[in-house]
Each structure stands twice: as C-alpha cells, then as structure tokens.
Amino acid sequence: MTGSIDPAAWQRRRTSFGSVAADYAALRPGYPADAVAFLLGDRPLRVLDLGAGTGLLTDALLAAGHEVVAVDPSPEMLDQLRARHPGVPAHVGGAEDVPLADGSVDAVVAGQAAHWFDPDAAAPELRRVLRPGGVVGFVWNVRDERVPWVAALGAALAAEARGHEADQGVVEAFARALPADVETTGSGTVQRVTPEQVVAGIGTRSYVATMTPAARAAFLGGIRDLLATHPDTRGRDVLELPHRTDAHRLTLR
C-alpha cells in the first residue's frame, strides 16, 4: 500500500528493517493476549505469522498455545526471531509469494506488517495456504495520542511518518480482494521505557531507517530534545508509553 508515498520510497522503507533488526527486537512493543484471542479463538491452530519480523507477534501466538511458522522478507529480522524461538520454522519470503504448501495453515496473521503487502497479489496466496474455514488476522500497535506527551511526540513525527505506520485502508482492501467479512476490536499495551529507548525505538521506523546518517542524527536529536523539555517527560528516568492495539479478523467468504 503505497498511499501518497512514491513507489521507490515505499520499496526502500519496506526493505529497510534489516538494518535495525536488533533494536526492533528490543524496543518495539509486543501484542496483548486478548488481541490474539480475538483473532484466533482459544483452540490451538497452525498459524502463519506473515511479515513476522523479529517475532514480537510470534511471542504472543506461542504463549497462546498455537503452532507457528514464520515468513518475512528480511533475513536479518528472521535471525532475531530464530534467536528468540529456535524451534519455530522461519522462511524468507513475502505475502505475494508465500513459501508454504497449499492448505498448510489454519490462520494467517500479520502484526505491524500488512500495510507493506499488495492486497491484490497477496490475497490469492493467503487463500492458497489456508485450510477450509481459515481466517486472516491483522493487528497494529499505534501510539495512544490521547496522552499529551505522546501527542507531542506524534506531532513531531507526523511530517516524516505520513501516517504510513497504521492500516491506511489496507484491511478494507484485503476484505475486497479475498473477499472476506471483517470484525474489529480494540485493546492496548503500555511500554515502560527510558527516554533514550523511546528515541532508539523511533529509530527503527522505516522513515527514519532510510534517512542519511546526518539527517537521522538531527531528527532523533529533535525527539531527544522534546522528551527533555516536555513538562510530562522532563527529568523522568522511566516513561510509560501507551499504545492502542487494533485487531481485525477477516473471515473468508
């Protein structure tokens, strides 16, 4: 989903995560158990974690008792996942060409990833690998900007982010392409992080990872200054960074 981003810039962002894989694994938020339960129910399933990255959603899937196979286009990201979960099969691949057999999984889920998929090309692949009665689940963590200092952080990021970290209509596009019926629920999670970890976490965003070193240093310096001066974060060693979790369950027609 390129949105208003030109295709070349979108492709650079899409493939940028290998350069920040270790920080991504350490600094991005995980996913709440209730979001996974909403997507998959309480019966153990064989689940494809598509765009699995470093395994943050895999963590929650395994904790819920599911069998997981992971697919991601970045070998560096998958190295982090394999270190976390050496027993999980992990394959290099993408949503548009899934390296799994026909009818091999009960569900396909994607955490913080589906906005990088091409719905028209990916939908036939999802239908191919799913068993009859299978479901697709997409989930995103988005900073909860109802908190004033988080709103200030979001404003500082907005010009570069251009809204490309959330669903941007991709759920509706997949619902048309599959086709599928959609159910949605909201949840949340809170990270306890130092100000410097907030800055480093912003550094794992695709729009920051693709900056020149000088531009990245200047941009992150501005975020560091914001946290050092905002009345809600100034002088604090640990911050509570809240996220809203939006989960979408797509039931194939």
Domain membership of residue 149 (yes or no) is: no
Which residues span the domain enclosing 39?
7-144+163-190+243-252
**pTM score, two decimals?**
0.86
* pLDDT one-digit tens code per residue, 17-42: 545 577 777 788 899 999 999 999 99
Q: Calculate what percentage of the chain has a pLDDT beyond 70.
A: 89
Mean pLDDT across the chain, nearest whole number? Answer: 90
Look up residue 131 and give its two tokens: 């068993």
CA 46 to CA 116: how far, in whole Å?
A: 23
Domain membership of residue 21 (yes or no) is: yes
Domain membership of residue 82 (yes or no) is: yes
Supply the pLDDT for residue 183: 97
CATH code of the domain containing 170: 3.40.50.150
Domain membership of residue 150 (yes or no) is: no
CA dihedral 56, 166, 242, 75 (to 10 degrees): 20
Domain membership of residue 176 (yes or no) is: yes
* Pairing status of strand 130-143 against strand 180-193: unpaired
Q: What pLDDT band is residue 2 in, cutting at 50, 70 and 90? A: very low
Domain membership of residue 233 (yes or no) is: no
Q: Alpha carbon 70 to chain centroid distance?
A: 14
CA 204 to CA 28: how far, in whole Å?
A: 8
Domain membership of residue 137 (yes or no) is: yes
Domain membership of residue 101 (yes or no) is: yes
Tally of structural domains, the chain: 1
Q: How long is the chain?
A: 253
* pLDDT one-digit tens code per residue, 142-164: 999 999 999 999 999 987 776 55
Supply the pLDDT for residue 191: 94
